[in-house]
Structure 1
Amino acid sequence: MDRRLLPLAASAFAIGTDAFVIAGLLPEVGADLDITTAAAGQLITVFSLTYALAAPVIGTLTSSFDRRKVILFGLAVFVAGNVVTAVADSFALALVARVVTGLGAATASPQGTAIAAAIAPPERRGRYLAVVTGGLTVASVLGVPLGTLIGAADWRLTLWTVAGLGVLAAIGIAVWLPPTSAPAISLAARLAPLRDRTALGILATTALVLAAGYTFNTYVGAILEEATGGSEALLTVVLFASGVGALVGNLLAGRLVDRLGPERLLLAAQIATTVLLVATPLAVHSLAVAIPFSAVFGAVGWMMIVPQQHRLVTRFPEAVSVLIGLNASALYGGVALGGFIGGAALNWVPVTGLGLVGAVISLAGIVVTAAMIRAPKPVPSPAAV
């Protein structure tokens, strides 16, 4: 493997861990900052929303710059945001720090993919991209549960650890990667695919899929408190099972897309997710049930990412780089929406009932997917980007 990919994968690992690890630490964060679990969940929401909104704009503003310098600047902001979060003594400061962290992630993360594509030989581009995006998958398998375990002593240690990972990734990028440039793309060109109904429908589905899952996942530490007895070690076991499931689901999705087609696989996974979300009140009281449940939930959830990317690449090959970026924004936008809806729903439902709220969102996603399957296949738009 090209060693230049290692710091890019490390960057993706650090950002992926940071994006989701706080979900396992919400009770500790809430107790330390003297806020409710619902309020603590908004730390995830503001990070994800900042990423979703900022990534296209930052990508435009920095498109004419050396990509190596851009990713190093983004990682510096990312590290600074985590350091401030780690030392924050108030909820307001922690929120501001998570916005800063989201801005850094929105700057650095897309550049990692762009650099991998730029340095790859044409015949190996897919493998180069897979190594970098694999950092996100590894984050779900190892980063999130290990971060939760470290946070058992003090949740702030987890943020210090993530900041350290960002520093290591930056050092590797500075040492191993050459300067890299790419043609500038205007913001209007980046957003042009949103005028196409099919592209907009696919992106909306991504947002709904993630919103459904993260209505539950954002508050998973609190939801599983009875099953784990409040033990961070046991919660780590459950999160690790979810990460292994995610890895398996991601691997299976590639094969199943070829056999079933992306729409059929996506619809089947959405239906399965809805059923699992409806069943969550029955699955979160016993550790013996919660572990396999989390593994299956992780597998089904990650199984939906690959067909979404496949749909974009197949239908809009002339705009694939822009649409993959917009799909990432839709992904983080869905995470933000799920965290917000889950936090708001806690005013009316117990934390163990959040799966039912997520199921309603998942049903909306099924409606969108089914409507798109029934619609006539579009003719790809002219190269607007």
Structure 2
Amino acid sequence: MNSITSSAEGAPAQKKFPVSLLSLTVGAFAIGMTEFVIMGLLPNIAEDLSVSISTAGQLITGYALGVAFGAPILTMLTIRLPQKLLLCLLMAIFIAGNAISVFAPNYAILMGARMLTALAHGTFFGAGAVIASNLVRPERRAGAVSIMMAGLTIANIIGVPLGTFVGQHLGWRASFGAIVLMGVLALIGILVFIPRLAKEKQAGLAQQVRSLAQPKLLLFLLIGGLGNAGLFTVFTYITPLLEQVTGFGEHSVTLILVLFGCGVTLGNMVGGKLADWKLMPAILGLLFVICVILTLFTWTVQSPMLSVITIFFWGAAAFAVMPGLQVRIMNLAGAAPALASTSNHSAGNLGNAGGAFIGGLVITHLGITSLPWVGAVLVGVGLVIALASYIAERKAA
């Protein structure tokens, strides 16, 4: 990894979390808005562009595929760029993609704009995680990554409801206009606060690909994908689950999802501290806790009070494991931390899509009440793989 020095003093990574991390948090907040706000605007977009709801829904699929497949390619094409310059380029792509969305005259151009924006998503989090982890001392790396990722989680609590409100009252294009402004703020923050990077010799593309192809690293990408699949098997259908099984009304579900977002944000921060304390034990412990919570949710979903409590802790545990997985993958990457970090987000988005697909099959063949335990099984498979890898590593050591 590149070492980071301050432009004035050439000091090593800071002991405390620096203010420059906030510029990455703002960028993550903007990206979180653009990824998720469209879910609340699909009827408006469909009506304005004269397409069906299902066709408009493909804008979400197109974005996920852009992250999953486009981001690693963009990362490999930009491996020789200085990391601060790369972040600025990515935010410029992000701003351009959302600006095109504001003025898109038809569905095809809007889809293209969404896929362009998706390129910045995974690569930004990949490069940003490397920079964030190098802005602090080694024992605080996971905490630094969690602060950057907090922007994504806070976007679900504040940004998405606010963006949906703006879109419903001023038109969906206004929501993308607000996201453009957030992107501009993030770009200014990166230019002003992110320190210059001490340029070191970069590994070649072939070497980076070989680093990424390590069996152990690929296993942890699979673990992250399975974790996301377990999450989205349930979360994709959380609204009908709470309305049809628990008996909540539509307004109550919205408040419960805000509570879930609060749990996500809390878990993200706590997970970073746990990973800095004991990385692999934290990952294994949190995966086990997720399995237990989802299994319990199979029964607590029948009770309004217990289901709300379960959902809060589920959100906290599901996102608490992510900073640790991110750092673990970067540690294993050797010469390709940014590419591995980006690939982690790609694997996660494939898990999102796979989880939504599996959830649909579960509803069709097993019933909607089976979603939680199926999600627990998916996370459990990831836990078994992680545990086997950890045991083998301990024996080898």
Name the TM-score class by shorter chain.
Answer: 0.7 to 0.9
Asked if the contact 2:94–2:183 (Cα under 8 Å) also holds between the matched residues in 1, the reply is yes
Asked if the contact 2:68–2:346 (Cα under 8 Å) also holds between the matched residues in 1, the reply is yes
CA 1:116/1:155 → structure 2, altered by over 3 Å: closer, same or farther?
same
CA 1:292/1:7 → structure 2, altered by over 3 Å: closer, same or farther?
same
Partner of 1:135 in structure 2? 151
Q: Which amino acid aligns with 1:164?
A: L
State which of 116, 130, 143 in structure 2 corresponds to 1:114. Answer: 130
Residue 77 (str. 1) matches residue 93 (str. 2): yes
2-11 or 290-299, which moves further after superposition?
290-299
State which of 240, 251, 264 in structure 1 corresponds to 2:285. Answer: 264
Work out the CA distance in 1 between the residues paired with 2:49 and 2:300: 28
Partner of 1:338 in structure 2? 355
CA 1:212/1:75 → structure 2, altered by over 3 Å: closer, same or farther?
same
After TM superposition, give the deviation of residue 169 of structure 1 in Å. 1.0
After TM superposition, give the deviation of residue 47 of structure 1 in Å. 1.5
CA 1:223/1:136 → structure 2, altered by over 3 Å: closer, same or farther?
same
After TM superposition, give the deviation of residue 61 of structure 1 in Å. 1.6
Residue 364 (str. 1) matches residue 382 (str. 2): no
Identity of aligned residues (%): 30
Work out the CA distance in 1 between the residues paired with 2:127 and 2:346: 14
After TM superposition, give the deviation of residue 102 of structure 1 in Å. 0.3
Q: Which amino acid aligns with 1:202?
A: F
CA 1:374/1:108 → structure 2, altered by over 3 Å: closer, same or farther?
closer
Work out the CA distance in 1 between the residues paired with 2:239 and 2:43: 7
Work out the CA distance in 1 between the residues paired with 2:33 and 2:187: 16
TM-score, normalized by length of structure 1?
A: 0.77
State which of 193, 203, 208 in structure 2 corresponds to 1:190. Answer: 208
Give SS of 1:184's match: coil
Partner of 1:205 in structure 2? 223
Q: Which amino acid aligns with 1:303?
A: A
Q: Which amino acid aligns with 1:249?
A: G
After TM superposition, give the deviation of residue 347 of structure 1 in Å. 10
Asked if the contact 1:210–1:338 (Cα under 8 Å) also holds between the matched residues in 2, the reply is yes
Residue deviations 1:196-247 (CA, integer Å, cap 9, x gap): 433222211211221232244446567767878665xx66533321111112
CA 1:228/1:281 → structure 2, altered by over 3 Å: closer, same or farther?
closer
1:279-358 paired onto structure 2 within 5 Å: 282=302, 292=309, 294-309=311-326, 311-312=328-329, 316=332, 318=334, 321-322=337-338, 323-339=340-356, 345=361, 348=364, 353=368, 356=370
Residue deviations 1:17-37 (CA, integer Å, cap 9, x gap): 222233344454455555555
Residue deviations 1:123-178 (CA, integer Å, cap 9, x gap): 86565444333322322333233333333424433222212100111122233445
Q: Which amino acid aligns with 2:184?
A: V
Partner of 2:294 in structure 1? 273
Give SS of 1:65's match: coil
49-58 or 266-275, which moves further after superposition?
266-275
Residue deviations 1:268-313 (CA, integer Å, cap 9, x gap): 313423553x469757xx7x78755542332232133245346546
Asked if the contact 1:58–1:107 (Cα under 8 Å) also holds between the matched residues in 2, the reply is yes
Partner of 1:156 in structure 2? 173
Residue deviations 1:33-81 (CA, integer Å, cap 9, x gap): 5555554443222212211222222222212123233222211221222
87-96 or 165-174, which moves further after superposition?
87-96
Residue deviations 1:245-266 (CA, integer Å, cap 9, x gap): 1123234445666686432331
Q: Which amino acid aligns with 2:290?
A: A
Q: Which amino acid aligns with 2:178?
A: T
Partner of 1:103 in structure 2? 119
Structure 1, unaligned stretches of length 5 or more? none
Work out the CA distance in 2 between the residues paired with 1:119 and 1:307: 17
Give SS of 1:164's match: helix
Structure 2, unaligned stretches of length 5 or more? 1-16
